[in-house]
C-alpha cells in the first residue's frame, strides 16, 4: 500500500488534492472564483452542508484495524512522495499558491466518494422528487418493461431464494413491489461488461471484458494501477487517491461494473417552526436542530459564514430547493453518509484478495457506494452477476414508494437500515453459461423489493453483444481469447442496421411506396450496409449513417406508444422486428413502424443536405473535414469547473469508431481478461496515466487509443518486468 500511495502521488498528486478540496468544501479558499458551470463558493456551501468530509473522518475511526492500517500505509506513501518532491510538484501548485496538507486516510475515503461528482450536487438531486409532490408528470414518457432483457432471470435462481425474499417482505411489513413502466425511468446508457464461463470457452476457464464508457478527461477520470503485496495482488482501475479497484482482476478473479443509478437517497419534507427556523416538528413536538456555523475562506475575497442545520434524517438543504411553501423545509439522507461504521474500502481489499467467486461475493457484501451492476468470473470457469450497493430500507406507509419526499414529521419514516446483501439481485452460473450487462435491466419482475432501478429494457449495446455471442455459439464454436476480443471491437449499431434492413425490406420485398428522399438514402447506404454497417469513419457511407437519429422520444414518433421511449424502447423495437423477420422474411410492418423507418431515413438525407450541400459526391470529403476534435480542459472534471491551465489542454484525436460496442470517444477504459492465462490480458487507459505535463507517461496510450489497439496488462512479476521502462525502489514496507 505504501508503494501504491507513492506511485499515485507521483502520477496524480494535484488531481488528488484538487478532488479532496472539492469534497472538503474548500475550493474557494485556494482558487477563489473559478467560474465555469458551478461556482467554487456554491460547491463549498453544498459540501459543507452535507458534511461528507467530517463523515469520512468519523468512518475512519470506526473501521477495522486491518483496513485502517492499509489506509495509513497508503497515506504514508503519498506523504513520502510529497515531501521528497516538494520543489518538483505539478506546476499548478505554484501557479495557484496551493500548499496541500499531508494526506490522511479520510482523504482516500472521499477520493472514492467523489466519483462522478454530480451525485453531490444538491440542486440536481431534488429535481426529480420535489416537483412530484406538486403532481407534475414525472420523469417523462412511459418505459415499457421487457422481462426477457433482465440479467437475473427467475429460471436461474433457487426457489429458496425467492421464498427468502417473500419472508423478508412480510417480516418488514412491506407491500411486494411490482415494477411497471409508469414508475421506471430510462436509466444510464453507458458502459458494458460480460463474462464467458466454462461451458462456452475453449479453455474451460473464464473470459471477461469490461468497458466503463465515460467521456475522456485530461487527465483521465480513472487511475490504472497494479499492486502486489503479502496478501494483495490485483490490477485495474480506480480513482487517484483511493486504493480501491473498480474494474480489475487478480490471479483468480476478474470483475467489471456498469452504472446502475438505483435509489440511494431520500428527501424528508419538514415542518419548520415559524418562530424559530432552527426547530422542526417531530412526532408532535418541536425539536431543536443541531446547528453549527462554518467559515468558508475565499481567496481574494471576504470569508463567508455558513450555517449548517442537521435533523435526525440528515442535513437541511432547504436553501437549495425551489418552490417550497412557507413553513416547509427539506432534509437529505443519502448513502454513504448514513452509516458511519462501514465503507466500501473494506470491500475493495477483500475483492483484491479474492481467489474465486465465493471469496469475491463475500467481499462484495461490504460494498456500499456507488451502486453498480457487477459482472465477475473466476479461473475455474464460474461466472456471475450481482448488484452492488447499500439500498435503504424505507418503512412502509403512504407516499413511501420512493417517488415523493418522505414525511419528515414522523421519526418512524427514517430508514430502517439497508436491504441485506443476500437479497439483492444476483446470480452465479446462469444456464446460458455467460453473463452480459450494458446498463440492462438487473432482474425480472418477480423481484418484490424496490431498489429505484432505471432501465425497463435492454440497451442497443447489450443486444449487439448478446447477438455476437449467440452467433458464435450457434456455429458450434466455443470462445477463445481472440474470439472474445472481436466481440469487443465490434462497431455496429443494431438499430441503424435494422432500420436499413427494414428499408430494403420495404423497397425490395414489400414494394412499398417510399418517398424519393427515402430511396436516395437507401441507395447511398447500400454498399455501407452490405459491407457490415460498421460505424467506422474508415468506411464510406458514415457521413450519412451518422445522421440517422434512433430514439423514439427524441423524434417524438407514434411508434414510441408501441415500444416505449428511449433506449429500452429502441431495444424492444429491434428485438421484436428482428424476430418477426426471422419468423417470416416477407412480414408486413405496422403503419407506425413503416412511418418511423421512412421518417428517420428521410430526416437523415435532409440533415446531410443541410450540412454538406446538394451534391452527395462531395459529402464524404466535407464530412471528414468538418470533424473537429473535442478540447479537453486540463483538470476539468464533472464538477463544472473550467480548465485550470489552458496551455495544457488537449484536443482529442479524430477517432474512427464512434459508436457500437467499441466507441473510442467514450472508451475511458477497456479491460479484456483471460483467467486461464492472466498474463495474456489486455487493457487501455486513454490517453495515459500521468497528469504531469513533463511526464513521458502522460500520453503513453495515445497511439494505441488512436489505432484502436489494447496494451499488454500482465499480472505476474516476470511478465511485468519484461515491459518495465522505469523503476523506483522505496525500500521494504510491510503491507
DSSP of 295-316, one letter per residue?
Answer: EE--TTS--EEEEEEE-SS-BB
Torsion of CA 237, 243, 245, 248, to 10 degrees: 70
pLDDT of residue 38: 60
Residue-level pLDDT at 110: 97
The whole-number average pLDDT for the span 220-226 is 95
Distance between CA atoms of residues 616 and 609, nearest Å: 8
Q: Which residue has the higher pLDDT, 456 or 44?
A: 44
pLDDT tens for each residue of 47-101 = 999 999 999 999 999 999 999 999 999 999 999 999 999 999 999 999 999 999 9
The Cα 103–Cα 40 span in angstroms is 22
Strand partners, 294: 306
Tens digits of per-residue pLDDT, 111-166?
A: 999 986 667 777 644 433 433 332 333 344 455 678 898 999 999 999 999 999 99
Q: At what angle do helices 345-353 and 65-84 cross, to 10 degrees?
A: 90
Output the pLDDT for position 316.
97
The whole-number average pLDDT for the span 614-634 is 93
Kindly report the average pLDDT of the chain as a whole number: 91
Cell numbers given for 181: 413502466
State yes or no: pLDDT of 396 exceeds 90. no
Q: Is residue 556 part of a domain?
A: yes
Average pLDDT over residues 552-559: 65
Q: Is the peptide bond before 197 cis (omega within 30 degrees of 0)?
A: no
**For position 125, what pLDDT does the model report?**
40
Burial profile 121-160: b = 16 or more Cβ within 10 angstroms, e = fewer: bbeebbeebbeebeeeeebebbbbbbeebbbbbeebbeee
Asked if residues 567 and 460 have their Cβ atoms less than 8 Å apart, the reply is yes
Q: Is 553 helix (H, G, I), strand (E, B) or coil?
A: helix
Q: What integer is the mean pLDDT of 494-504?
A: 96
579 located within any domain: yes
Mean pLDDT of 306-316: 97
Start-to-end C-alpha separation, the chain: 6
The yes-or-no verdict on residue 628 having pLDDT over 90 is: no
Residue 137, pLDDT score: 34
The boundaries of the domain holding residue 523 are 491-626
Residue 336 lies in a domain: no
Residue 466 maps to a domain: no
In a domain, 608, yes or no: yes
**CA 65 to the chain's CA centroid:** 31
Asked whether residue 678 is domain-assigned, the answer is no
Q: Are 584 and 520 in contact (CB under 8 A)?
A: no
Confidence of residue 732 (pLDDT cuts 50, 70, 90): low
CA pair distance 90, 15, nearest whole angstrom: 10
pLDDT value of position 640: 86
Q: Taking the CB of residue 273, how many other CB atoms lie within 10 A of it?
A: 17
Q: What per-residue confidence (pLDDT) applies to 186?
A: 53
Percent of the chain with pLDDT over 90: 79
Asked whether the CA dihedral 339, 342, 348, 351 is positive or negative, the reply is: negative
The pLDDT, as a whole number, for residue 180 is 58
pLDDT band of residue 731 (cuts 50, 70, 90) is confident
- Rounded to whole angstroms, how far apart are CA atoms 216 and 198? 34
Q: How many domains does the chain have?
A: 1
Per-residue confidence (pLDDT) for residue 405, from 0 to 100: 87
Q: Quick check: 261 pLDDT over 60?
A: yes
User: Within a domain: residue 514?
Assistant: yes
Spatial strand order in the sheet of 233-238: 223-228, 233-238, 247-249, 253-259, 372-378, 383-388, 426-428
Q: Is 406 exposed, middle or buried (0-12, 13-18, 19+ CB in 10 A)?
A: buried
Pick the range with the lowest mean pLDDT from 442-456, 460-474, 531-545. 442-456
Confidence of residue 556 (pLDDT cuts 50, 70, 90): low
In a domain, 559, yes or no: yes
Amino acid at each position: 500500500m505504501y508503494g501504491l500511495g507513492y506511485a499515485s502521488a507521483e502520477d496524480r498528486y494535484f488531481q488528488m488534492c484538487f478532488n479532496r478540496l472539492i469534497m472538503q468544501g474548500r475550493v474557494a479558499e485556494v482558487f477563489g472564483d473559478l467560474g465555469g458551470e458551478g461556482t467554487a463558493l456554491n460547491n463549498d456551501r453544498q459540501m459543507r452542508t452535507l458534511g461528507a468530509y467530517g463523515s469520512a473522518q468519523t468512518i475512519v475511526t470506526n473501521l477495522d484495524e486491518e483496513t485502517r492500517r492499509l489506509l495509513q500505509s497508503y497515506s504514508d506513501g503519498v506523504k513520502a512522495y510529497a515531501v521528497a518532491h516538494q520543489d518538483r510538484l505539478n506546476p499548478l501548485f505554484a501557479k495557484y499558491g496551493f500548499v496541500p496538507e499531508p494526506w490522511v486516510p479520510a482523504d482516500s475515503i472521499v477520493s472514492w466518494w467523489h466519483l462522478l461528482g454530480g451525485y453531490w450536487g444538491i440542486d440536481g438531486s431534488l429535481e426529480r422528487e420535489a416537483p412530484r409532490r406538486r403532481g407534475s408528470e414525472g420523469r417523462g414518457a412511459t418505459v415499457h418493461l421487457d422481462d426477457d432483457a433482465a440479467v437475473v432471470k427467475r429460471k436461474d435462481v433457487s426457489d429458496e431464494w425467492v421464498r427468502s425474499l417473500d419472508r423478508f417482505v412480510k417480516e418488514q411489513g412491506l407491500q411486494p413491489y411490482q415494477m411497471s413502466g409508469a414508475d421506471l425511468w430510462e436509466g444510464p446508457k453507458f458502459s458494458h461488461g460480460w463474462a464467458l464461463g466454462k461451458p462456452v470457452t475453449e479453455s474451460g476457464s473464464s473470459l471477461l471484458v469490461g468497458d466503463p464508457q465515460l467521456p475522456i478527461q485530461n487527465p483521465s477520470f480513472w487511475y490504472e494501477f497494479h499492486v502486489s503485496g503479502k496478501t494483495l495482488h490485483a490490477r485495474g482501475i480506480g480513482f487517484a487517491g483511493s486504493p480501491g479497484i473498480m474494474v480489475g482482476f487478480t490471479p483468480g478473479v476478474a470483475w467489471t461494473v456498469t452504472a446502475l443509478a438505483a435509489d440511494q437517497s431520500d428527501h424528508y419534507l419538514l415542518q419548520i417552526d415559524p418562530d424559530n427556523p432552527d426547530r422542526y416538528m417531530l412526532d408532535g413536538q418541536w425539536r431543536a436542530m443541531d446547528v453549527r456555523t462554518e467559515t468558508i475562506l475565499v481567496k481574494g475575497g471576504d470569508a463567508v459564514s455558513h450555517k449548517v442545520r442537521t435533523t435526525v434524517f440528515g442535513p437541511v438543504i432547504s436553501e437549495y430547493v425551489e418552490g417550497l411553501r412557507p413553513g416547509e423545509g427539506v432534509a437529505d439522507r443519502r448513502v454513504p453518509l448514513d452509516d458511519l461504521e462501514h465503507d466500501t474500502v473494506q470491500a475493495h481489499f477483500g475483492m483484491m484478495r479474492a481467489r474465486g467467486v465465493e471469496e469475491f461475493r463475500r467481499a462484495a457484501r461490504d460494498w456500499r457506494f456507488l451502486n453498480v451492476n457487477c459482472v465477475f468470473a473466476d479461473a475455474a470457469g464460474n461466472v456471475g452477476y450481482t448488484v452492488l450497493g447499500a439500498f435503504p430500507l424505507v418503512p412502509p406507509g403512504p407516499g413511501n414508494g420512493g417517488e415523493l419526499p418522505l414525511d419528515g414529521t414522523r421519526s418512524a419514516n427514517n430508514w430502517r437500515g439497508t436491504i441485506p446483501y443476500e437479497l439483492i439481485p444476483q446470480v452465479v452460473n446462469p444456464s446460458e453459461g455467460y453473463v452480459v450487462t450494458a446498463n440492462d435491466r438487473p432482474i425480472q419482475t418477480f423481484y418484490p423489493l424496490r431498489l429505484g432501478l432505471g432501465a425497463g429494457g435492454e440497451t442497443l449495446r447489450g443486444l449487439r453483444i448478446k447477438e455476437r455471442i449467440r452467433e458464435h455459439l450457434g456455429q458450434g464454436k466455443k470462445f477463445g481469447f481472440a474470439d472474445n476480443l472481436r466481440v469487443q471491437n465490434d462497431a455496429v449499431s443494431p438499430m441503424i442496421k435494422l432500420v436499413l434492413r427494414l428499408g430494403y425490406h420495404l423497397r425490395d420485398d414489400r414494394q412499398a411506396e417510399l418517398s424519393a428522399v427515402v430511396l436516395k438514402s437507401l441507395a447511398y447506404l447500400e454498399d455501407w450496409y452490405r459491407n457490415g454497417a460498421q460505424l467506422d469513419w474508415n468506411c464510406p457511407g458514415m457521413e450519412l449513417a451518422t445522421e440517422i437519429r434512433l430514439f423514439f422520444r427524441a423524434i417524438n414518433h407514434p411508434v414510441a406508444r408501441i415500444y416505449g421511449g428511449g433506449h429500452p424502447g429502441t431495444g424492444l423495437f429491434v428485438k421484436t422486428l428482428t424476430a418477426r423477420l426471422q419468423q417470416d422474411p416477407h412480414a408486413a410492418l405496422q403503419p407506425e413502424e413503416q412511418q418511423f423507418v421512412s421518417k428517420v431515413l428521410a430526416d437523415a438525407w435532409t440533415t446531410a443536405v443541410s450540412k454538406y450541400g446538394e451534391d452527395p459526391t462531395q459529402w464524404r470529403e466535407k464530412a471528414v473535414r468538418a470533424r473537429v476534435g473535442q478540447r479537453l480542459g486540463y483538470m476539468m472534471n464533472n464538477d463544472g469547473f473550467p480548465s485550470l491551465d489552458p496551455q495544457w489542454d488537449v484536443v482529442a484525436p479524430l477517432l474512427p469508431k464512434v459508436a457500437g460496442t467499441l466507441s473510442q470517444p467514450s472508451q475511458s477504459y477497456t479491460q479484456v481478461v483471460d483467467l486461464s492465462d492472466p498474463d495474456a490480458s489486455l487493457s487501455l487507459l486513454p490517453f495515459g496515466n500521468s497528469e504531469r505535463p513533463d511526464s513521458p507517461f502522460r500520453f503513453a496510450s495515445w497511439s494505441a487509443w488512436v489505432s484502436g489497439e489494447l496494451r499488454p496488462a500482465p499480472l505476474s512479476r516476470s511478465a511485468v518486468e519484461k515491459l518495465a521502462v522505469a523503476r523506483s525502489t522505496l525500500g521494504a514496507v510491510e503491507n
